[in-house]
Amino acid sequence: MRYLVVRKRTLKMAACALAVLILAVTLLVRSDAAAVYLGVNPRKTPIYRVQTTEKKVAISFDAAWGAERTQSLLDTLKEYGVSATFFLVGFWVRKYPEYVKKIDEAGLEIGTHSNTHPHMPRLNETQMDLELKESCASIESVTNKKPELFRAPFGDYSDKMLNVCERAGLKTIQWDIDSLDWKDLTARAMSERVLSRVKPGSIVLFHNDGKYTPDALPVILLGLKNKGYTVTHVGDLLLTGDYTIDHAGEMKAKQ
């Protein structure tokens, strides 16, 4: 009888140990460490920032609704002699082609922000592909330039979406600093937020029609200059040649 009790206890302990082992392996497979220890590819990630020793930062503006503050942003960028990237939704391009032309003629970079601003992961691959093709075609019809960058609406992405973007020849760009201009932060609060978080290789998110963005932008650009940063567009910040994107979305040169 005692033997049976001991044997049952041993079996229970073995079962618990096996369960813990299975859980540990499952967590490892889902983590970035799996790439090293098990040779399993972790989840794909867009580019949030770039690893660099240079004090360079990229600023970007998403444009989906409204355009009344766009000219003010363009004037400020010109005044400070800096570049930026505008991610444009297809319906915005078709509604405001004159601003698309102004952005392009100012020498600024244009990427796509989808065609109809959907939650991309909720679409099937055919719908995703159509979102990219139609938005790029709208931009190209005005600028005669094919976009090379994509920013997902709501920052919402999936492996399937990233694969579709890769096949379309588009790099997917997120951000590591959100100005929160979409929350109508004051110009002072927005400036303090951005300037306190910036690092070499950062990508900053703004919106073209943020209520206080035109007031905050000059302060931010001056602050970045005083910190020794060069402000540029996303494409200029990205690495060329072989690179990796880690689990946190940092783009790094392959060693």
- 100 in the same domain as 27: no
Q: Backbone phi, then psi, for 251, in 5-degree steps?
A: -80, 125
- 163 in the same domain as 137: yes
- 238 in the same domain as 136: yes
Which domain range does residue 9 map to?
2-37
Mean pLDDT by 10 residues, the chain (255 residues): 50 54 42 40 87 97 97 98 98 98 98 98 98 98 98 97 98 98 97 98 98 98 98 97 95 92
Number of domains in the chain: 2
Q: For residues 1 and 23, what is the distance between their CA atoms, to the nearest angstrom? A: 33
42 assigned to some structural domain = no
211 assigned to some structural domain = yes
Q: For residues 136 and 76, what is the distance between their CA atoms, to the nearest angstrom? A: 27
- 86 in the same domain as 178: yes
- 11 in the same domain as 87: no
- 136 in the same domain as 19: no
- 12 in the same domain as 102: no
Given the residues 62, 176, 181, 209, the one annotated as active site: 62
Structure tokens belonging to residue 173: 């760009």
Q: For residues 181 and 146, what is the distance between their CA atoms, to the nearest angstrom? A: 28
- Catalytic: 117? no
Q: Counting Cβ atoms within 10 Å, is residue 16 exposed (0-12), middle (13-18) or buried (19+)?
A: exposed
- Catalytic: 75? no
User: For position 4, what pLDDT does the model report?
Assistant: 46
Per residue in 70-121, pLDDT (tens digit) is: 999 999 999 999 999 999 999 999 999 999 999 999 999 999 999 999 999 9
Given the residues 117, 207, 209, 233, the one annotated as active site: 207
- 96 in the same domain as 23: no
240 assigned to some structural domain = yes
User: For position 211, what pLDDT does the model report?
Assistant: 97
81 assigned to some structural domain = yes
pTM of the model: 0.84
- 85 in the same domain as 25: no
DSSP assigned state of 169: T
70 assigned to some structural domain = yes
